[in-house]
Structure 1
């Protein structure tokens, strides 16, 4: 990609300490017509001091003018902070953004046709920064097909004055794809924690890494100016090389933030060491949600969770799934993630959204979307504002409100399973629960419409791919089929005609009468979901490798509570091994296994009988020292080898030995 160096940086590379400038000096390098890229997620990683200085310069001098602004995630507080500082007519003339809901100042300009405006998927823009950095012409992706980003619909354009095509539909190797065109970027406004005098930047107190490196590289390689806001300075050579997230060779200006209020960790929290991974905080269980429409929806959605699943929770209504999972003691069996790069822990909400407490890892945003786009998510829980008969969902634009898609298109299109969540109608909640049945108010703005105003999710595309998609409300549940939306469940106390069908602009498919939603959802007490979801059918706990002659038995989370349970285990082993006519080796997983003390004798007697009849050698393992001791003593009393290993690797090794 041809480029020339920024004319005001003719002396680059700067000498040591020459990169340290004030915010006003830094933004003075921005020229009329420059393309500016900003990093941030809500308030995390956003260079607030630089945005304030840029706004002040424009209001005082009328310069710079006609900027193009490009950003991936929403960066604002829904009020005056973040990219709202740039919401002045004349300051920006083009905006390419992934999410618009937090920047009402830019929204107003877009809706009034005062600027050219595009909404592209957050993950695509994140990848586009990386591809621009590498000198590629743009980004090829399946993400966006069948949605408002598709050129056959709006091509991501948000108003009539926006005519330039940034998205092109192409066919490559017989596959239909979207090509998102790249463009040179002249200015980067980024943020870190510490910079040395050479401009190397670390992020030890930041909650996210985001796409700072990709943006800095893209701007540097186009001959632009890279400006980074930090909290503090360090001498050269004092930052550990692995801690440097933006190398100094890419950085032109370092601005030490003078006002701590302009360098909060998030737009709600000044600093939380658990968000940045510097400490692991005690995990206090959140207070149970009150029994309301939100909790009813979250409870029904939580039935879709699976042990060991990798999960994305969207902002708003889907956050309730995390609260329900906590109440039901399921969190330890899940890995929650959020699109800006957090893996594990407990994601935060509100203006802290994007951060997480006690994460397993914090990776950069382009890498997280590599994982998402490649199908890494087992399930995603997302909101819904409008739904139509073919299963299309709108969360991006309705009426005079422009929310934008954010990461919704990437996530909903590529997660293996999707659950959309929302109230059945848009209305203030006045429902009541009487004797476990709903009492619903009349009316409300319909959400199930003839055709969505903005297509953020393509039902037809998902159905053609065979993706499991479910739509959960407080009074009804729908599934996506190739023929469209099918009504599968209704809540107790709900009148099908009056409370559901009469409030829909279309008639859903009902090949069978809708079954009642689980009655536990509508009671004050916990539902016992952990026991249900962790209780795998016994037949699924046995796996025989006939070639190696090894029977794998997975008793993880199994509870043996009766003689019938013992008999069932014996019968399942007999069913699988008796027809072989030969002995096999066995490995048994006893992690989180539970057995009543009164049943230890009969259980181990059954185990001894199986060993005598079917096994040539057995190894067992569990991470629980208590269970190793308890079960080991009982086995020894039956003249069965009492040794139980601590890991599957040890058990396998000793089985072969």
Structure 2
């Protein structure tokens, strides 16, 4: 029986010149800090290994000295293929300066590629990256002139465009867990995430490579619960025990039981954000949260939306997720990003991206560094800063609705909120709304063809993407349109019906978001487009638990449709509708009466498969055509084709 526990020096000595080394980690979560230090020290002492290739998904680094920043040494790295580069700036500088071959591919695609490398496939097909800088018709993900070998190819299948991401054989995998036995079986009970440890280990093993694991403790053989073993010992070649200082749960937190799910933290005592530009933006973005929907929040500015949802007591009415694999709870920020307090579930990263890519996200809230007149967004490379796309492309291309958030200008911006108005004290040095972005991380025109709803939220105004490009829809109280908006842009947006941003956003008191999202008056839930004769109804979050509530709802709906004076087509949103069991029959009876008296044709939609099936069955039982769809676009398309 082989004892797989070895010294650090012996483990890293097995890495050869020219090896492709796959490194786990999401910021500091799951990052094998001890192993990386071992490689750094060996190279400084022996000049070995030389010219290795690095493969990583989520920027294992702290933005300074730790993680992959340790390996940014001339001669050590020849090539790097990564998803998110922002927190490995030393390696990123080598890429920008043509010192190494370098690629930036979507984080989710790299994560999924681990699985396909493990399965012995030649690569992976995906639509993610089409019409962005990853598309071979642009740069193919290459970062510099030194990088010429194509890793992404454009293919056509059944008259549809796809991107083919080529497999990359893995010679060495550096992974991390909590506990190992001497046979190499590894558990992850104290880790904040499981990430892609198993896929990475399989990819290396099935490539004929080596798997080196970092853990914090050794257990007796046979003592580990097999259901807790994430990486079987057969996949592990050697195990290194790390000191606690190089095995932090995150780069910011040594250990928190709430991150690993071993304790449910008390979050009733909320720490409120200061009323500044970040809170203004987070509040406005939070107004778009879909009740009972699934939401992804990006790193940086979007993190504030989670804090607002918690402040306003609606955190339990939505499911927040992170690309790293978290469902539910309160996603964390800064160097804790990726972890969550009180998560409902933690799955592997590639599984999360399978869910995202397949259309599982109702809303994505993401940052924006540059925006142009075509609605394109750049977050990956701008003004000499190389951040990388991370999971941004997977998420932004596949979410049903996208809200981009960020300050209107950057670099020294100072604002003040006084008397319910926003004042610009000092304008930012750098404009963010440009004629053309430096690099396309999100393609506005491609998004339009996919039927996405897209908003751009800043502290002073809100834009909506339409067929003509960006349309200015809201302006903050106290802001001058010409001085504070138009003169600070390099293009002129479409301006038609501009309204003031909600006053509650600029009030120190709680904004009563729960009421805003759940207690919407019926008159604000219905819009009649006279040109198309379609009524768009939004029943999202509607709750009916008593006869009195149903009677009020019935009176208001009948009054609305009667006042139109003719029969209409209906497109109605039923997401999050909560009808008590004792009121269900009466509620459907009301729908039957409305259908008979006021509708030409009606279509309804909900992201909940259970609700669609149940509502469809109830409607059929009353001889009502059950045209029920998953998205608004599908429901509206049905009406348009039926006219």
The TM-score, its normalising length taken from structure 1, stands at: 0.81
The C-alpha deviation readout for 1:379-426, integer Å capped at 9, x for no partner, is 011110100001111111112211111111111111110000001111
The CA deviation at 1:430 is 2.2
- State the match for 1:599 in structure 2: none
Larger radius of gyration: 1
The C-alpha deviation readout for 1:488-528, integer Å capped at 9, x for no partner, is 11111111111111111111112x14111111111111121
- State the match for 1:199 in structure 2: 184
Please list every run of 5 or more consecutive structure 1 residues that lacks an aligned counterpart in the other structure: 1-14, 542-552, 577-588, 594-603, 615-647, 653-657
Aligned pair 1:180/2:165, yes or no?
Answer: yes
The CA deviation at 1:574 is 9.3
CA distance in 2 between counterparts of 1:16 and 1:293 reads 59
- State the match for 1:655 in structure 2: none
Q: Is the 8 A contact 1:438 1:492 kept in 2?
A: yes
Q: Out of 464, 472, 475, which is 1:490 matched to?
A: 475
Aligned pair 1:327/2:311, yes or no?
Answer: yes
The CA deviation at 1:190 is 0.4
The CA deviation at 1:106 is 0.3
CA distance in 2 between counterparts of 1:286 and 1:78 reads 29
The CA deviation at 1:433 is 2.3
- State the match for 1:391 in structure 2: 375
Aligned pair 1:568/2:534, yes or no?
Answer: no
CA distance in 1 between counterparts of 2:553 and 2:181 reads 64
CA distance in 2 between counterparts of 1:567 and 1:558 reads 10
In the TM superposition, what are the counterparts of 1:427-438 in structure 2 within 5 Å?
427-438=411-422
- State the match for 1:308 in structure 2: 292
The CA deviation at 1:482 is 2.2
Aligned pair 1:48/2:33, yes or no?
Answer: yes
- State the match for 1:154 in structure 2: 139
In the TM superposition, what are the counterparts of 1:329-348 in structure 2 within 5 Å?
329-348=313-332
Residues 353 and 20 of structure 1: CA distance in aligned 2, closer, same or farther (over 3 Å): same
In the TM superposition, what are the counterparts of 1:75-224 in structure 2 within 5 Å?
75-224=60-209
- State the match for 2:258 in structure 1: 274
SS in 1 for 2:258: coil
The C-alpha deviation readout for 1:542-592, integer Å capped at 9, x for no partner, is xxxxxxxxxxx999755989x8x675256479999xxxxxxxxxxxx9979
Q: Is the 8 A contact 2:140 2:150 kept in 1?
A: yes
- State the match for 1:73 in structure 2: 58
CA distance in 2 between counterparts of 1:65 and 1:294 reads 44
SS in 2 for 1:452: coil
Q: Is the 8 A contact 1:285 1:326 kept in 2?
A: no
CA distance in 2 between counterparts of 1:82 and 1:569 reads 57
CA distance in 2 between counterparts of 1:558 and 1:521 reads 28
CA distance in 2 between counterparts of 1:386 and 1:269 reads 32
- State the match for 2:230 in structure 1: 245
Please list every run of 5 or more consecutive structure 2 residues that lacks an aligned counterpart in the other structure: 526-538, 561-575, 591-613, 619-643
Residues 569 and 557 of structure 1: CA distance in aligned 2, closer, same or farther (over 3 Å): closer
The CA deviation at 1:473 is 0.5
The CA deviation at 1:186 is 0.4
CA distance in 2 between counterparts of 1:559 and 1:500 reads 46
CA distance in 2 between counterparts of 1:555 and 1:212 reads 39
Q: Is the 8 A contact 1:268 1:351 kept in 2?
A: yes
The CA deviation at 1:98 is 0.5
Q: Is the 8 A contact 2:413 2:427 kept in 1?
A: no
In the TM superposition, what are the counterparts of 1:406-485 in structure 2 within 5 Å?
406-441=390-425, 443-444=427-428, 445-485=430-470
- State the match for 2:272 in structure 1: 288
In the TM superposition, what are the counterparts of 1:51-66 in structure 2 within 5 Å?
51-66=36-51
Q: Is the 8 A contact 1:220 1:226 kept in 2?
A: yes
CA distance in 2 between counterparts of 1:289 and 1:539 reads 33
- State the match for 1:636 in structure 2: none
The C-alpha deviation readout for 1:61-81, integer Å capped at 9, x for no partner, is 000000000001111001111
Q: Out of 10, 31, 38, which is 2:23 matched to?
A: 38
In the TM superposition, what are the counterparts of 1:9-20 in structure 2 within 5 Å?
15-17=1-3, 19-20=4-5
SS in 1 for 2:14: coil
Q: Is the 8 A contact 1:99 1:122 kept in 2?
A: yes
Residues 63 and 514 of structure 1: CA distance in aligned 2, closer, same or farther (over 3 Å): same
CA distance in 1 between counterparts of 2:579 and 2:8 reads 56
Between 1:429-438 and 1:343-352, the stretch displaced more is 429-438
CA distance in 1 between counterparts of 2:370 and 2:170 reads 36
Q: Is the 8 A contact 1:535 1:558 kept in 2?
A: no
- State the match for 1:638 in structure 2: none
* Count of aligned positions: 562
Residues 560 and 514 of structure 1: CA distance in aligned 2, closer, same or farther (over 3 Å): farther
SS in 1 for 2:364: strand
SS in 1 for 2:84: coil
CA distance in 2 between counterparts of 1:517 and 1:573 reads 28
- State the match for 2:631 in structure 1: none
CA distance in 1 between counterparts of 2:148 and 2:499 reads 49
Aligned pair 1:502/2:487, yes or no?
Answer: yes
Q: Is the 8 A contact 2:522 2:557 kept in 1?
A: no
CA distance in 2 between counterparts of 1:223 and 1:568 reads 69
Q: Out of 358, 375, 389, which is 1:374 matched to?
A: 358
SS in 2 for 1:161: coil
The C-alpha deviation readout for 1:523-542, integer Å capped at 9, x for no partner, is 1111212012112566999x
Between 1:389-398 and 1:513-522, the stretch displaced more is 513-522
CA distance in 1 between counterparts of 2:80 and 2:11 reads 22
SS in 1 for 2:55: strand
